[in-house]
Chains A and B, each alone.
Chain A
Amino acid sequence: MIRFIRTIKQNNYFYLIQQFTITDFKLRYSHSVLGYLWSLLNPLLMFGVLYFIFSVFMRFGGIEHYQVYLLSGIMLYGFFNETTSSGMTSLFTKSSLLNKVNFPRIIIPLSSTLTNTITILLNMVILSIFIAFSGVNVNYSAFFSVLILFELIIFSLGVSLFLSAFYLKFRDLQHIWGVLLQLGFWATPIIYPIDIVPIKYHIIFKINPMARLIQNFRMVVIMGQVPGLRNIIYNIAMTFLIFFVGFIIFQKRQKYFAEWL
């Protein structure tokens, strides 16, 4: 890992990462009229739909500040969804480059993740505006949201590395992962409050990393509580464990990527 960081420094790879990230971001919205506004409109439109269904039709009354609760869930899960889906296919979409140029392959999924990071940061601006109007009492504990976002990014990168390394050999992964993301959406308290789920199923929310991160995010932002030390340590450990597993698998397989394309 340290050796890896050193090569990144020596070979001006920072500039390459930066160029890839910006290019990706530009290209993603290059032919649409609204451009990158879509990255903000997407979660907001989804929010509109879900809010209407669950607040007006199904009356999920009990939660305080349901709008912020829902929107933060959508944005955080949306980031995970986008990052892992685009990260998985990132190597494949850059196959001509992999075939002709020798550079650390990890730069590709890494810059794909960074592109999505720009989006989530823009989303956070929208969320902040939303919070300002919602009457949530934000206090200093909201600073912890930075740590949680960081964990989310590292976690999503780790999963992307793992997926992209296998995707080249096993293209079904795209469809399998699509289904798993759907499943994850419902296995994570995004639209529903956690209390409507029977206690015996709460174990799902304890082992599901996305549920932990999203719940912690709401805890520090909406409820203004600082998470317990054990909780913080557990989340950091979980995040970095996933990242390192993804990283090691990726680095072991990267030599052969050009042959698998």
Chain B
Amino acid sequence: MAVMENIIKINNLSKMFKIPHVKTYDLKSYVIHFRKMRTYEEFYALKNINLEIKPGEFIGIIGRNGSGKSTLLKIIAGILQPTSGKVVVNGKMSPFLELGVGFNPELSARENIFLYSSILGLSKKEANAKFPEVVEFSELERFIDSPIKNFSSGMHVRLAFSVAIQANASILLVDEVLAVGDAPFQQKCFFVFEQFKKGKKTIVFVSHDMDSVKRFCNKVVYLKRGDEMFVGDPEQMIQLYENETKSK
């Protein structure tokens, strides 16, 4: 192929949230606040965002809290609908944004592995086949039948990460993962990310951990605010981000 096609193309994307002056969930407050109900503020979490992502790219999204990073990720994932603009995705996207979503504390690690596998879009066959690998990677063999409410947060993330990497998607959307886990486990995670890179998977990765962004990403998106965005190579963008946050 001469021309590399974009795997994700974001065109003029805007996302507006209506922030009502009074939030109503019931009839009583609806009646009482009938007038106020209709008034709301418009808040643009994202405005006129353009972004092109090519297959095999490892994109880091950085920015301060509330700059719209997670909103952007959710729109790419199809969880939120854009107010205007368009997102085109060509490829199978892993549906997870945050590790361990859908884990149930009452269930055992074993049951949670199968539940989470199904959420990640694996079939029953695949889930069964990958189960030993997941357990081995997580290093939680001993606790496999105890309910995960007794797990430490580190064990929790380890379990979640071990399942999540089994998702057979070409695009992975990841919201803050590497923060937890001890050093040897992090090392293992880094190894997996290297593998993904070699396997030409596309990864969009939101993080506050500049070291891991520097280490893996070959392109960084710095969201300053919802309407101001810079794209460039990691070093440059992180420099820019750090300068701007320090000066405040």
Contacts and interface: CB of A to CB of B under 8 A. Distances in A.
Secondary structure of the B side of the interface?
Answer: loop
A101 interface: yes
B236 interface: no
Interface in B19-38: 25-28
B124 A102 contact: no
B121 interface: yes
Interface string A4-29: 00000001101110111001001100
A99 interface: yes
Interface string A169-187: 1111000000000000000
Nearest to B147: A30
B106 A101 contact: no
A27 B81 contact: no
Contacts of B122: 12, 15
Given A15-B127, A23-B111, A259 B96 contact: no
B97 A100 contact: yes
A102 B81 contact: no
Contacts of B11: none
> Which range holds the interface residue count of chain B?
20 to 34
B123 A15 contact: yes
Contacts of A18: 118, 124
Interface residues of A, number: 29
A97 B118 contact: no
A100 B78 CA distance: 10
A230 interface: no
A258 B127 contact: no
Contacts, number: 83
A14 B127 CA distance: 13
- Per DSSP, chain A at the interface is helix
A172 B27 contact: yes
Contacts of A139: none
Interface string A78-108: 0000000000000000001111111100000
Interface in B84-129: 93, 95-98, 101-102, 104, 106-107, 111, 114-115, 117-119, 121-124, 126-127
A11 B167 CA distance: 12
B71 to A, nearest CB: 11
Contact of B119 (A16, A27, A169): A16
B124 A96 contact: no
B27 A100 contact: no
B111 to A, nearest CB: 7
B4 interface: no
B79 interface: yes
A140 interface: no
Nearest to B115: A19
Nearest to B112: A23
A101 B101 contact: yes
B96 A101 contact: yes
Interface string A21-44: 001001100110000000000000
A93 to B, nearest CB: 11
Given A15-B123, A100-B96, A102-B79, A27 B106 contact: yes
B107 A255 contact: no
A256 interface: yes
Interface string B53-79: 000000000000000000000100111
B192 interface: no
Nearest to A255: B81
A256 B74 CA distance: 12
Given A99-B79, A172-B27, 6 more contacts: A15-B117, A19-B115, A30-B106, A101-B79, A101-B119, A171-B25
19 contacts: A12-B123, A12-B126, A15-B118, A15-B123, A16-B118, A16-B119, A16-B121, A18-B118, A18-B124, A30-B106, A31-B106, A97-B102, A100-B96, A101-B102, A102-B77, A169-B25, A170-B27, A172-B26, A172-B28
